[in-house]
Chain A
Amino acid sequence: MNKSPNWRETIITAVIRTCGYSAVVFVLLIFFFLLREGVPALAEVKLGELLTTRWYPIENHFGILPLLTGSLVVTLGAMLIAIPFGIGTAVFLAEIAPRWLREILKPLVELLGGLPSVVLGFLGILLLSPFLRVFLNLPTGLTALAGALLLGGIAVPTIVSIAEDALDSVPQSYREGALALGATKWQTIWRVTLPAARSGVLTALMLGIGRTIGETMAVMMVTGNAPVMADKLTSILSPVRTMTATIAAEMGEVANGSTYYHVLFFIGLVLFLISLVVNILASTVIFRSRKRAERVLS
Chain B
Amino acid sequence: MKRGFALDRFVIERLGVALITLTAVLTVVPIIGVFGYIIARGAPAISWEFLTAMPRDGMRAGGILPAIVGTFYLTLGTAIFSVPLGIAAAIYLAEYARENWVTRLIRIAIINLAGIPSVVYGLFGLGLFVLFLKFGTSLLSASLTLSIMTLPVIISAAEEALRAVPQSFRTVSISLGGTRWQTVRKIVLPQALPGIITGVILGLERAAGETAPILFTGAAFFLPRLPNSPLDATMALPYHLFVISTQVPEMPIQIQYGTALVLIIFVLGMNLIATVIRSRARAKRQW
Which A residues have a C-beta under 8 Å from some C-beta of B? 5, 8-9, 12-13, 15-17, 19-24, 26-27, 29-30, 33-34, 36-37, 84-86, 88-89, 91-93, 96-97, 105, 107-109, 111-112, 114-123, 125-127, 153, 156, 160, 184-187, 189-190, 207, 210, 213-217, 221, 244, 247-248, 251-252, 256, 264-265, 268, 271-272, 275-276, 278-280, 282-283, 286
Return A128 CB to nearest CB of chain B, in Å.
Answer: 10
| Separation of A166 and B123 alpha carbons in the complex (Å) | 35
Say yes or no for B119: interface residue by CB 8 A criterion: yes
Contact B119–A16 (Cβ < 8 Å): no
Given the known A-B contacts A85-B26, A89-B24, A214-B116, are A116 and B9 also in contact in the complex, defined by CB atoms under 8 Å?
no
Return A146 CB to nearest CB of chain B, in Å.
Answer: 14
| Separation of A118 and B31 alpha carbons in the complex (Å) | 15
Given the known A-B contacts A30-B124, A118-B242, A244-B117, are A185 and B13 also in contact in the complex, defined by CB atoms under 8 Å?
yes
> How many B residues touch the partner, as a band?
35 or more
Return A167 CB to nearest CB of chain B, in Å.
Answer: 12
Residues of B within 8 A of A115 (CB): 34, 209, 264, 267
Contact A123–B122 (Cβ < 8 Å): no
Residues of B within 8 A of A189 (CB): 16, 20
Contact B108–A184 (Cβ < 8 Å): no
Residues of A within 8 A of B107 (CB): 283
Contact A19–B85 (Cβ < 8 Å): yes
Residues of B within 8 A of A217 (CB): 211-212, 238, 242
Residues of A within 8 A of B45 (CB): none
User: B7-31: contact bitstring with A at CB < 8 Å (1 yes, 0 no)?
Assistant: 0011011001101111110111011
| Separation of A26 and B108 alpha carbons in the complex (Å) | 12
Contact A105–B24 (Cβ < 8 Å): yes
Contact B31–A37 (Cβ < 8 Å): no
Taking A23-B89, A33-B127, A116-B211 as given, write out 4 further A-B residue pairs in contact, using a Cβ cutoff of 8 Å, ordered by the A residue number: A16-B92, A96-B20, A187-B13, A248-B119
| Separation of A160 and B24 alpha carbons in the complex (Å) | 10
Residues of A within 8 A of B84 (CB): 19
A-B contact pairs, 10 of them (CB 8 A): A13-B181, A19-B84, A34-B124, A37-B123, A111-B35, A118-B242, A121-B242, A216-B212, A251-B216, A280-B111
Residues of A within 8 A of B148 (CB): 26, 30
Return B60 CB to nearest CB of chain A, in Å.
Answer: 17
Which B252-268 residues have a C-beta within 8 angstroms of A? 253, 256, 260, 263-264, 267-268
| Separation of A210 and B123 alpha carbons in the complex (Å) | 18
| Separation of A29 and B211 alpha carbons in the complex (Å) | 22
Say yes or no for B171: interface residue by CB 8 A criterion: no
- Contact with A221, one of B10, B23, B246 (Cβ below 8 angstroms): B246
Contact B28–A96 (Cβ < 8 Å): no
Residues of A within 8 A of B38 (CB): 119, 123
- Contact with A122, one of B96, B127, B128, B260 (Cβ below 8 angstroms): B260
Contact A283–B179 (Cβ < 8 Å): no
Contact B108–A283 (Cβ < 8 Å): yes
